[in-house]
Each structure stands twice: as structure tokens, then as C-alpha cells.
Structure 1
């Protein structure tokens, strides 16, 4: 069978797994305020007012419906490490695409809230598997100088999924009856079918193949992706020798379990990987995505809320592009620090506007108890503007970096399970926040923005003091950041995060102008076996 060797094509296909999450976000956010959805899943009085508007699910039940998907994703992310280690990175992603189709069929055919929750939970299993293993797959194929750009495409695919499905849902909202939400929920199977088929033409991770003693296949993949099929390339032989060394070390040690990640030599990077994903949720971005119609309805946009909501999705797509182009040059740390600071500012401004100018709506003004504040005039426009600026701050910073950063922290032998654990933390907090926000808007109103603003301030300080720079560094050098021992020494020192910077020598290393050992010094083997990654030569 024909196999694609272009690393950009490989990444473009793989990140469709990220688009599945985007489809879920906007298919829910665009539908929860529409009359067909509110009436079909109605739990309150049949009609809330004389206009014949259905009240829909209660705030807590709507939170549960929304949260069922990230609840499934939490479990999916945890089991993805085992699936990936047994079946391979590529087949793990294909497994996720099959599960997504099953969940989408159930969601599309939902007859009641219980069936809807069950289908969304199954969809979540698929999203958890794909979101954890797509970054691992790309990281193990891409060279360091392109790694951030290619893994960051996962976030760009999410933004495209959000935008495309939002307009499908927006167009379907004019259809009468339950078809208004069944059409978009059914169409979301299409990208999963494409993903499954297209992956048949992509290579497996050479590192996973090596772990399974499929050495000839591993050499062929390296040659195909990095040397235009030349198995005699010096680069291919050098990288294979490094992979072989790591695999032999792994076999000399016990099989990796999740407990391995909490041992003293690994706990620091485990905590950083987990908190990268946790903080990406505590920015409040996915809250903005899921419940943007609530926010804009409270800002006085009324029945025209869907179209203005789509503007933020367009901003999300466009503003992710700078990160794809420059995140390897900017570095991970500055990108996260700037993003946290700017998001904190917009959240606090929104809190101040709603606290000062917002009023409790009169009975029957809004359809949902979560729409608990009414603000009009210039302050309402300022709230909308700050919401757009918040999205524009998240898109080129925490959005892509939260997927790029964790796979770079770990050595090969633990990477599959480590990234799965970090991603499960993302979905655990996604679940909690999706369930928390509707009741929070109903009960504490504008203080919700204060909560997320404080989280952004905390993440700024956390990154400043504890998150090291990994941009453009060979994965072995990342190992030296966490274990900065001098040759012959077994004492763990660790490099302070604020002393790490973007590697300026990576381009010279790839061109063969400097040798890896000249750059790093003699290799030290203690604790974990460092993973060396020889870079593809410039053509």
C-alpha cells in the first residue's frame, strides 16, 4: 500500500482527531439556545412565557449534558496509553475514530436526555484517545525545528472543527423540528470516517515499531519521512542507533506503569505536564466556547446571538496561525506567560463591567437560569469586545502550547502514558468546568470572571518559576534540563526554569555544522536513558 512520507501531510491528517473535539464544542454551543433543542429536551414548564418559548433542561442538567463528553474523554485519555503501547500510535487514533462514529450515531438518534448523555460520553472516549495520542504520534515523527508547528496543528484543527460545525449548526437551526440538531450531530461522523481511512496511508511511529522489534519497518519509516526513502542515509543510521539504545535500556528495566511517573526522578516533569493541561482549562476558554451564547444573550444580542458568536470562532482560527508559524522561535515559556497575563486582564475587565453595569434580568427576559445578568449599551459592547480579545489572547498562546509542551517533557519509554495522564487532567477539569459554569452563572453571576481571572494570575506565576523552555531542543537536551548533572556525577540538580531558553543552535545541528555531543557534552547515563534525536539534514 502507498505510504505518505511528507511530514506536513502526516500531521494534517493526524490532527483531524483534534477537530473531533472542536465539532463537539460548537455543535453544543450553537444548539443549546435554539428552540428545537429547548423544547425537545424540555424539563421545566412547557412554555415559559406568552411567546411560547420552552425552558429546556435545567441549568444543572445542561451542565451535566455538556460535561458528559469531557467525562468520557478523561477515561479515554487514561486508557489511550495502553491502547497506544499495544496497538501503536496510528491504530490508537483509528480506534478513537471508530468509537466517535458509534457515539455520534447514538447522539444523533437521541430520544431523551439519558440517551444524549450516553452518546456524548462515548464521543468523549474517542476524543480522549485522539487528543492524547495525536501529539505523541507527531512528536515521535517530527524534527525539533518543526515539532512545535506540527503538534500545534492539533489546536488549529480544533479551531477549524469549532468553526465548521458552528456554521453547520447555524444553518440547521432554521430547520423545523428535531432535525435542527440531528443533522449536525450526524454530520460530525464525516471527519472521523476520513481520519480512519486516511491513516491507512500514513506510517507508524518508528519508535513504536522499534519497541516491537520491527526494525526493518522502523528504518523504512525513518528513510521515507526524513531521507526521501534512502535507507543508506547517514541520518537514518544515526537515528536508528539512538532509538536502539533507548529501546535496549527500556528492556533492561521493568515495564512502565503510571506509578513510574510519580517516582522522584519523574515527578517534576509529570506535575508540569499535568498542570499545563489543567491551566489550559482554567483559563476559561472552553467555557467561552461552550456557553458563549449565554454570555452574548446577557449582553443584549437576543435572538441574533448565533452570528456574533461565530466571530469569536473566526478569531480563534486566524489567531492560531501566528503560533504555528512562530511558536518554535518565540519559545514555550514567553508564549504561555504573555497569554496568561492578557487573559487575566480581559477577565477582570469583564468582571468589573458586569459588576458595575449589570442588573438582574426581569422574569421571562431570558430562557435559561444561567443567563442571570442583563447588561446593555456601551458596557455590553465592551463585554463583547473583551470576550473577543480574550479569545485572541488564548488562540496563539495556551491553545496550541498546551498540546505542544507535554510530549516534549518525557523520555520515549514513558511518553505514551505520561501524555495520556496529562491529557486526562485536561478532560477532568473540562468535565468539572462544563458542569460548574451554568449553575455558577445562575448563582454567583459576574464573580465567575473573577474566579478565572485569579486562575490566570496563578498560572502566570507557576510558569514563571517552574516551567522550563523546550523549544527547538533535541529531546535528549530536555532530559538534561531536568537532570543537569555533570559527567560522572549522579547528583540530581535540575536547571531552574528561568535559566532555560530557546535553543539557537538547532538549525546548525540539523545542517550538520555542530555535533550533538559537542553541543551537549559527553553523554551521562544514570536514572533514565537520555533519548537522542538526530535531525533530518537540510536539502
Structure 2
């Protein structure tokens, strides 16, 4: 039945761009917590009441206490990938924020350095969950042309958290007792609790919903995000078909989700995601983030002055994260990383040289170079690695994100553990190590990283050699001489045989699925313009493997294996989203389900007639 009206069926009060903006800003509280935790402890290390209470901990004790957070995050990031696949991105964020509150309370009321370290370990477990799943969540709800913008916006939230903690520490440093360091530790618990409450409001990602056959809810969320709540919008239907097609193809290929399968099949993609996180740490940012006040003290800024200089640096750091909002989807990911490696390397060399000279210019020189270094990182190696999970296919994205995030925490731990020891042992030479890493990262990006701006998540295979996309030259279904798809203009360009004759446009149509035809209408000849999705098309002039998408049920996906169905008279069937009527029935059934308060009510008064109760109905 075709509906005569386009009545919104909404999952949330907000829809469209408003929903995207609200959700992106809200989930950024997860990375805000990580930034807050980083900056918080860096400033407390120079607090005299903090040092007195913990009996002036040695560099090794400080390094272990700081870096143990990364140990917790390292192990939980592996678990987070599996948890995120099983229970969803939204619930994983909920559990992560709840664990963070527990860890923050342990830190707030700690009685010794071991107790404090244990609290940071628990907080690290939470941060491992949040930093693994939130980038996945962000990439899976963002439209391709704005995915970089929202990822960079998320990173800005991280740096705002870092800066906020510095200024909170600075404000409380005027209190002349232990509250000066316990109060900032408690504030992070309040932010974690706010994120926990918000996890009940935000939507689940449509890709996770469709991957788990929650097709009705998935269609509602897609329409909320991209079509202002209109489930009959063609924009929503095309997006549904695009995602579901990718899900079904992954099932035909075996439905593998193991780490072994991922590393064998998608090794280049995983390398890009992991190398970006590795160099983000080895390039030296946490030498500054964790120990900035100590660095400023070594350069001549003492006590509260060191925290003040760190706070000023953090404001410039925030401002530096804004240009990538507009550059990442236009200029691209790769140019930002290359320029960032250069702009970070030179200040590190100058810091090292200035500390070696140790003259009257050293203090100001170090401040200026640290600010330039932070700004360069904030505009490049800060946001970009967290969004590189976009290159991982949907069926293993959580595990790919887990591995890349674990790489981040492994090298984060190494840097956090070794920095105070190296600063104490080799002093100014310490900064030569990250400077060398900046040089290596430049060549790694230049030779290994492809550019992924503007690609949909489903079309990432077009720039990788892993045969993972039916739209890629490397695909086993589409292994022809015409090359990979130029998704920006909806046509194919040669990457393997420049002298090959131009492909026949009609045959190019038949090499793609009906859903892809609908998305790339420029492939159609004028005489084909009246043929809609699933319409009758002239037969191809030569035999070419076809893709036959079917209805989105597990039992009916054999027609997607690249072989025509046994009944040759059956035309290719498009993947159809749930009908308007079935979505209405689903939504009404959802509304009639008792909420948590109603369930509690029936437990207290079990004799109430539940069958006669009606939930709110759609208009």
C-alpha cells in the first residue's frame, strides 16, 4: 500500500541536522572526559598539597600512576569491540560512562598513591570503552560529505575537556588545603554521570540496527538523521538500501567477524587505522599533555605560573582544532597529516636546542614552541587518527576500532611511563625522539595512506586492494579493466589500463546493483531515464556477472552471490525498506511497551489489569 501522505514517524524530538548536531556534541562528552582526565592530572602534579599528601612521589611512581590509565584502556578497548557488536554502540557508551563515574569516585577519595592509581585504572577501562565506540558511533551516523567535520568537532570536545581541567585546577589552586586537588577529581564524576543519563536519549546507529535485522527501527533512525523523520523519503530509502546491501553482501562472504579474518582480509585498512594512532602518540603530544606544567617548570615557570601557562596554551590548542572542521572534507585527510608532521617536528627540535642552551631566552622560547606544537597537533594528528576507523568495513568496524584504539593506548602508555624517566635522565635530548617520529610519520602517510574524503563507508573498498567492495576494481565480482569507481561523479575511471577502450555505458549499468544505479544516475543513457529502481532495462551486449539484491531477510540472500537465480525469468529485485504501514505498527507496539516506571508500578501492584492499558498512539 502506497501512503498518500508523508507523515513523520520520529524516534526522537530532534530530526535532521539538529539531531546530528545534538548527538555529535553530546557523545563528545565521552572524549571530553578523556581530555579532562589528561589535563587534570598534569596540573595536579605541581599542586603542593597533592605532592605533600602523597609524600612527593618519585618520577617512576608518577609515571606508573599516570600511565596505568592507558593499561586499563588498552585491555578494555579489545572488549569494547565485541561488546559494541553484541549490545550496540549506545549501550556500550552507557556502560563506559557508568564505569568512569566509579573510577572517578575512587580517585576522589583515595588515601594513597596505590589507591589513586587503582582509580585511574578503573577510569582507564571506561575510557577504553568510550574512545573505541564513540568514533565508530560518530562515523556511522554522519553523512559522507560531513563525516570529517563531525569527527573533528568531536576531537574539539576532547581538547575543551583538557582545557577545562587545566582552568579548574588553576581556580582550585587558590584553596589552601586538600580540597584544591580533590574537588577537580570529583567534577569529572559529574560529567561522566551526565553522559550516562544522555545515553538513554541518543539514537542507536542505523548501521548497527540493520546489521542486527532491526530494520524497522533502523529505517526510522535513518529518516530521523537524513530525511527529517519522513520514512517515505527517497533519500531515506536509498540510504537504507545502500547500508542493507552492504550488510547482506558481508553475510554472503561468510559473515566473518573475527580478528584473524579482519587482519587477513583487510590488512592495509587496519594498518592505516593503527599507524595513524601509533604516530599520534609517538609524535610527542602526551609529553606535553601529561607533563606540560612540569615542562614549563623546567623552563623557569614555577608553581601556579606553570599551570597558568598551560591554561593559556590549552586555549590556543582549542582554537587550532577549528580549521580542520572546514579543511578535512575539502582539502582532505592526507594533506593535514603531512603538514602536521612537519609543523610538529620543528618546534620539538627548537625546544630541545633551547633547553640545551638554558639561557635567558629559554623560558619564553619553550612556551612559544609548545604552543606551536600543540596547535599543529590539534589541526592534524589530533582529530584525523580518531576518524580513520572509517576505513574499516561495517562487519568488523568495532574490532578494527578496538585494535586501532588499543594501539593508541599501548603507545600512550609507553610515552606516559617513559617521559618523566627520560626527562630526569637525558633531559633536553628527550624531545629528539618525538621529532624523529614526526619525520617517520610523514613518509608513512605519504606512501601508505590513501585519501578517503567524500567516500561513503560502503564505498571505502574503492581505494583499497582488498576486494572488499562490489564497486571496486579489485572486487572479485567486478574484476574488469575499467578500474575503480570515481564516487564523486558517479562513473568509473581507469587505474590499471590507461589504453583500454572506454566502457560501454549500458554494460557499466549492468555491472552495478540496482541500488548503485539509483545512486549514480549519470550512468544511464537518456533512453533509460524513465526506468526506475527495479524497472526493466535492456539486456547487456555481453555476459557480465550481475548482483541481484533481494529482500532484507537472512533466508533470502542467496540471490546476492553474483549468480542469477535459477528462474531466469525473475527480474532482479531491489532491496526494499519496510513499508510505511509496517513501520507504523512497529512504532505503536513500541509505544505500548511499559517503561521502567510502569514496570516498577506493576511489581508493586501486580493486580492491575495490564492488558487493558494502551500506550500513546501515533496521530
Q: Determine if the TM-score, normalized by the shorter chain, exceeds 0.5.
A: yes
Structure 1's 477 and 213: CA in aligned 2 closer, same or farther, altered over 3 A?
closer
Structure 1's 425 and 529: CA in aligned 2 closer, same or farther, altered over 3 A?
farther
Tell me, in whole angstroms, the C-alpha distance in 2 between the residues paired with 1:389 and 1:202: 37
Q: 1:400 maps to which residue?
A: 383
Q: 1:292 maps to which residue?
A: 292
Once the 2 structures are TM-superposed, how far is the Cα of residue 197 of structure 1 from its aligned partner?
1.5
Once the 2 structures are TM-superposed, how far is the Cα of residue 326 of structure 1 from its aligned partner?
2.2
Q: Assess if the C-alpha contact under 8 Å between 1:487 and 1:524 holds in 2.
A: no
Which is bigger in relative contact order (C-alpha 8 A, separation at least 6)? 1
Q: 2:425 maps to which residue?
A: 443
Q: 1:177 maps to which residue?
A: 177
Q: Assess if the C-alpha contact under 8 Å between 1:4 and 1:202 holds in 2.
A: no
Once the 2 structures are TM-superposed, how far is the Cα of residue 195 of structure 1 from its aligned partner?
1.2
Q: 1:261 maps to which residue?
A: 262
Once the 2 structures are TM-superposed, how far is the Cα of residue 255 of structure 1 from its aligned partner?
3.8
Once the 2 structures are TM-superposed, how far is the Cα of residue 176 of structure 1 from its aligned partner?
2.7
State how 1:470-485 maps to structure 2 within 5 Å: 470-483=452-465, 484-485=472-473
Structure 1's 312 and 244: CA in aligned 2 closer, same or farther, altered over 3 A?
same
State how 1:122-521 maps to structure 2 within 5 Å: 122-252=122-252, 253-263=254-264, 265-303=265-303, 304-355=305-356, 357-358=357-358, 376-404=359-387, 406-483=388-465, 484-485=472-473, 505=489, 516-517=519-520
| Greater C-alpha Rg | 2
Structure 1's 279 and 488: CA in aligned 2 closer, same or farther, altered over 3 A?
closer
Q: In the TM superposition, what whole-angstrom CA distance separates every residue of 1:196-219 from its partner, at most 9, and x where no partner exists?
A: 222222111111111222111000
Tell me, in whole angstroms, the C-alpha distance in 1 between the residues paired with 2:277 and 2:385: 6
Tell me, in whole angstroms, the C-alpha distance in 1 between the residues paired with 2:43 and 2:91: 32
340-349 or 240-249, which deviates more: 240-249
Q: In the TM superposition, what whole-angstrom CA distance separates every residue of 1:306-328 from its partner, at most 9, and x where no partner exists?
A: 11111111011111011112211
Structure 1's 383 and 226: CA in aligned 2 closer, same or farther, altered over 3 A?
same
Q: How many residues align?
A: 485
Tell me, in whole angstroms, the C-alpha distance in 1 between the residues paired with 2:323 and 2:372: 15
Q: Assess if the C-alpha contact under 8 Å between 2:243 and 2:458 holds in 1.
A: no
Q: 2:40 maps to which residue?
A: 27
Q: In the TM superposition, what whole-angstrom CA distance separates every residue of 1:113-161 from its partner, at most 9, and x where no partner exists?
A: 1111110011011111111111111111110111001112221011110
Q: Assess if the C-alpha contact under 8 Å between 1:13 and 1:199 holds in 2.
A: no
Once the 2 structures are TM-superposed, how far is the Cα of residue 409 of structure 1 from its aligned partner?
0.7
Q: Assess if the C-alpha contact under 8 Å between 2:255 and 2:395 holds in 1.
A: no
| SS of residue paired to 1:188 | helix
Q: In the TM superposition, what whole-angstrom CA distance separates every residue of 1:290-321 from its partner, at most 9, and x where no partner exists?
A: 10111111111123211111111101111101
Tell me, in whole angstroms, the C-alpha distance in 1 between the residues paired with 2:522 and 2:309: 52
Tell me, in whole angstroms, the C-alpha distance in 1 between the residues paired with 2:522 and 2:267: 27
Tell me, in whole angstroms, the C-alpha distance in 1 between the residues paired with 2:345 and 2:118: 35
**Cα RMSD (Å) of the superposition?**
2.7
Q: Assess if the C-alpha contact under 8 Å between 2:299 and 2:355 holds in 1.
A: no
Structure 1's 377 and 195: CA in aligned 2 closer, same or farther, altered over 3 A?
same
Once the 2 structures are TM-superposed, how far is the Cα of residue 529 of structure 1 from its aligned partner?
10
Tell me, in whole angstroms, the C-alpha distance in 1 between the residues paired with 2:48 and 2:480: 61
Q: Assess if the C-alpha contact under 8 Å between 2:478 and 2:545 holds in 1.
A: no
TM-score by length of 2: 0.74
Q: In the TM superposition, what whole-angstrom CA distance separates every residue of 1:347-391 from its partner, at most 9, and x where no partner exists?
A: 111112222x13xxxxxxxxxxxxxxxxx4123311211111111
Q: 2:20 maps to which residue?
A: 7
| SS of residue paired to 1:230 | coil
Once the 2 structures are TM-superposed, how far is the Cα of residue 242 of structure 1 from its aligned partner?
2.3
Q: Assess if the C-alpha contact under 8 Å between 2:104 and 2:189 holds in 1.
A: yes
Structure 1's 489 and 232: CA in aligned 2 closer, same or farther, altered over 3 A?
closer
Q: Assess if the C-alpha contact under 8 Å between 1:3 and 1:203 holds in 2.
A: no
Q: 1:534 maps to which residue?
A: none
Once the 2 structures are TM-superposed, how far is the Cα of residue 280 of structure 1 from its aligned partner?
0.6
Once the 2 structures are TM-superposed, how far is the Cα of residue 21 of structure 1 from its aligned partner?
0.5
Tell me, in whole angstroms, the C-alpha distance in 1 between the residues paired with 2:380 and 2:66: 25
Q: Assess if the C-alpha contact under 8 Å between 1:296 and 1:384 holds in 2.
A: yes
| SS of residue paired to 2:174 | coil
Tell me, in whole angstroms, the C-alpha distance in 1 between the residues paired with 2:476 and 2:521: 17
Tell me, in whole angstroms, the C-alpha distance in 2 between the residues paired with 1:201 and 1:377: 55
| SS of residue paired to 1:330 | coil
434-443 or 303-312, which deviates more: 303-312
Structure 1's 382 and 147: CA in aligned 2 closer, same or farther, altered over 3 A?
same
Tell me, in whole angstroms, the C-alpha distance in 2 between the residues paired with 1:351 and 1:338: 21
Q: 2:82 maps to which residue?
A: 82
482-491 or 465-474, which deviates more: 482-491
Structure 1's 226 and 189: CA in aligned 2 closer, same or farther, altered over 3 A?
same
Q: 1:533 maps to which residue?
A: none
What are the ranges of 5 or more consecutive residues in structure 2 without an aligned counterpart? 1-10, 466-471, 491-514, 525-543, 548-559, 563-619
Once the 2 structures are TM-superposed, how far is the Cα of residue 505 of structure 1 from its aligned partner?
4.6
Once the 2 structures are TM-superposed, how far is the Cα of residue 170 of structure 1 from its aligned partner?
1.2
TM-score by length of 1: 0.85
Once the 2 structures are TM-superposed, how far is the Cα of residue 490 of structure 1 from its aligned partner?
7.3
Q: 2:63 maps to which residue?
A: 63
Q: Assess if the C-alpha contact under 8 Å between 2:287 and 2:416 holds in 1.
A: yes
Once the 2 structures are TM-superposed, how far is the Cα of residue 485 of structure 1 from its aligned partner?
2.4
Q: In the TM superposition, what whole-angstrom CA distance separates every residue of 1:321-349 from its partner, at most 9, and x where no partner exists?
A: 11112211110000000000111111111
Structure 1's 524 and 292: CA in aligned 2 closer, same or farther, altered over 3 A?
farther
Tell me, in whole angstroms, the C-alpha distance in 2 between the residues paired with 1:4 and 1:453: 46
Tell me, in whole angstroms, the C-alpha distance in 2 between the residues paired with 1:91 and 1:248: 24
What are the ranges of 5 or more consecutive residues in structure 1 without an aligned counterpart? 43-55, 359-375, 507-511, 531-539
